[in-house]
A = this chain, B = another copy of it.
Amino acid sequence: MASSPAGTTDPPLVDTEFDRATAVRRLDDGTFALEVDAGFTVGPKPNGGYLLAAAVRAAGDALAAEGSAHRDALAATAHYLWAPDPGPATIEVEVLRVGRGASQARATISQGDRRCVDLTFTMGTLPDGPDAPPATWSALAPFDVAPIEDCFRVPADPPGGKFKVSIMDRSDLRLDPDTMQWAFGPASGRGELRGWISFADGRPTDPLGLLFFLDALPPATFDIARSGWVPTLSLTTYLWARPAPGPLRIRQRVQQVAAGRVDEVCELWDADDRLVGQATQLAAIRFDDDAAVVPYPR
């Protein structure tokens, strides 16, 4: 699709709820308008991966306006300062460098006077599924996950949940029962969730969808001990390729909890057994006062 004249922006490639919710409109002052969508929330607040995807869309548009075709976030980091509410928000993008193989941009999502998310991107063009060569070298291997029909669809209104997790109506997340015992009894202490993920409305997963999925799982700390909300401080994503069609395998693992913080890593594998995306995040955590922390089994 050709880049569009100033003052407008490219229409969504596909008219789905995710494309509408991440749509950004370039304003005359060069900033972008985003309508934070109430359907992409956890409780009352928007999901961090959803906000990241919207900001990458704005960064791609800003690069297109400078003649660059780089629309994919090879590496992206978001620092979350303040959770915005559903409703109008502004994305300010600054193009830092336009390069041949990669370009860099930074962005800020604000609502009113409040800065909500600060982001930095290394942008480029991901190899396309069928044409993409396999990894040159990898120490990682696809993990075991139960067949999708044996997995547990995570509902937006989990039994006993204190709030609605609307993103579970947008994504179709099926967790391996082997990693779900914490939902029905004591946690296993492994700190790991595995399953399958796709868009609930059948939208194909593109690189923007990968960004959303990389932050869409429940905290894997639920498999260690009960806690309240686990707000992300910093999320970093790397994307490797546009995924092959079909549901993706996803795994989220806790690495360490210390001093009120937790780090988790996430992997997304496609139907061709390729690692297509990864994330690492640092979040704040406070286990419930009466929660017993189940140690990692060694």
Chain A interface (Cβ < 8 Å from any Cβ of B): 74-75, 77, 79, 81-82, 96-97, 101-102, 104, 106, 115, 118, 120-122, 126-127, 132-141, 190-191, 224-225, 233-234, 236, 238, 240-241, 253-261, 263, 275, 278, 280, 282, 284, 287, 293, 295-296, 298
Whether A137 contacts B254 by the Cβ 8 Å rule is yes
Q: Using Cβ atoms and an 8 Å threshold, which residues of chain B touch A256?
A: 135, 137-140, 240, 275
- Shortest beta-carbon distance from A228 to chain B in Å: 15
Whether A234 contacts B296 by the Cβ 8 Å rule is no
Whether B137 contacts A280 by the Cβ 8 Å rule is no
Q: How many copies of this chain are found per oligomer?
A: 2
Whether A97 contacts B81 by the Cβ 8 Å rule is yes
A79 interface neighbour in B75, B261, B284, B293, Cβ under 8 Å: B75
With A133-B259, A256-B138 as known contacts, state yes or no: A122 contacts B82, CB within 8 Å. no
Q: Using Cβ atoms and an 8 Å threshold, which residues of chain B touch A238?
A: 234, 263, 282
What are 29 A-B interface contacts by the 8 Å CB criterion?
Answer: A75-B79, A77-B234, A77-B236, A79-B104, A79-B120, A81-B96, A81-B97, A97-B115, A101-B260, A106-B118, A120-B234, A122-B234, A135-B256, A135-B257, A135-B258, A137-B256, A138-B255, A138-B257, A138-B258, A139-B254, A139-B256, A140-B256, A238-B282, A240-B261, A241-B258, A255-B278, A256-B275, A263-B278, A280-B280
- Shortest beta-carbon distance from A147 to chain B in Å: 24
CA gap between A75 and B236 in the complex, in Å = 10
- Shortest beta-carbon distance from A65 to chain B in Å: 19
Whether A233 contacts B75 by the Cβ 8 Å rule is yes
A-B CB proximity, top 10 nearest: A75-B234, A77-B77, A135-B258, A137-B257, A136-B257, A236-B236, A138-B256, A75-B282, A81-B97, A139-B296
